[in-house]
Amino acid sequence: MHELPPTLATAEKVGVPVIEVSHVSTRFGQAVVHRDVSLTVLRGEVFAIAGGNGCGKSTLLREIIGLLTPTTGTIHLLGTDSRELTQSNGRPLHRRFGVMFQHGALFSSMTLAENVAVPLREHTSMSADVIRDIAALKIALVGLPPDSAIKFPSELSGGMRRRAALARAIVMDPELLFLDEPTAGLDPMIAAGFDDLVLNLKRLLGLTVVMVTHDLDSLWRIATRVAVLGDGQVMGVGTMEELARSEEPAVRSYFHGPRGRAASLTHAGTASQRD
């Protein structure tokens, strides 16, 4: 018999590893995506996975949450092998994390409120009235107006769709929140507002956040630590301040291009805001 995931009571302490990726390699046919990737995410931090296009950021995220299986290596999520998420005994673990996929991935035929309520309908036996009330609460929590609940995704702006997807990701009160390119395609002001929202929700709900992004402004604003992927490997892990001083050529090229220099100057001295 497989062991159930550890209870919330046994995993409350800040700084306890909640995700452990060990020697993961990933191949699709002849294409090598990851080569011996290892990293650890600690409870209470905003951990970002960064790197250029095609470096395997989103693939690694999908492996962590059990949507893909690495070729070799192991991934433990809240103390459980992520491969067990595809099995019947993995259902309790699904309740403990929320995922916001790139561009929101809302169902176009459902209203905003119906989209937010999907996990509650799938994973609980709550009444329709209770589900409606919880969905309304989460919609308000992400800063959307009450009248947006009856609108369809096509009637929402890009920023509102991201907030709706975030409301759906937190509707089950998860411990872990996964964000896949949350600010991609948003204008800088809306992206900054979304970053602030993520930090506020982290503090309010006690979340651990894992974020896949190539948005350097977001990395400086909210990331506690960052893992930089390149050539299928982890090229460096640390705070933005530490990585900006790295002598590793692949890391320097990522952080010291024109956009990287501009972001570092804009956000210098912001580490305390991420705590």
Q: Are 113 and 135 in contact (CB under 8 A)?
A: yes
Mean pLDDT, the chain, integer: 86
Q: What's the fold here for domain 17-96+213-267?
A: Rossmann fold (3.40.50)
103-158 confidence digits (pLDDT tens): 768 999 999 999 999 999 988 889 999 999 999 999 999 999 999 999 999 999 98
In this prediction, residue 77 carries a pLDDT of 94
195-242 confidence digits (pLDDT tens): 999 999 999 999 999 999 988 999 999 999 999 998 889 999 999 999
pLDDT for residue 274 is more than 80? no
* Rg, Å, the chain Cα set: 19
pLDDT for residue 3 is more than 50? no
* CA dist., res. 206 & res. 189, Å (int): 25
pLDDT band at 272 (very low <50, low <70, confident <90, very high): very low
* CA dist., res. 170 & res. 209, Å (int): 11
* CA dist., res. 79 & res. 67, Å (int): 17
Q: Which residues have C-beta within 8 Å of that of residue 51, sequence separation ≥ 6? A: 57, 214, 228, 229, 230, 235, 254
SS3 content of the chain, % helix, strand, coil (to 5): 45, 25, 35
- Alpha carbon 201 to its chain centroid, in Å, reads 13
Beta partners for residue 238, in sequence order = 226
Q: Are 27 and 77 in contact (CB under 8 A)?
A: no
Helices (H), the chain: 57-64, 91-94, 112-123, 128-141, 158-170, 188-205, 216-222, 240-244, 249-255, 258-266
Q: Where are the domains of the chain?
A: 17-96+213-267
In this prediction, residue 111 carries a pLDDT of 96
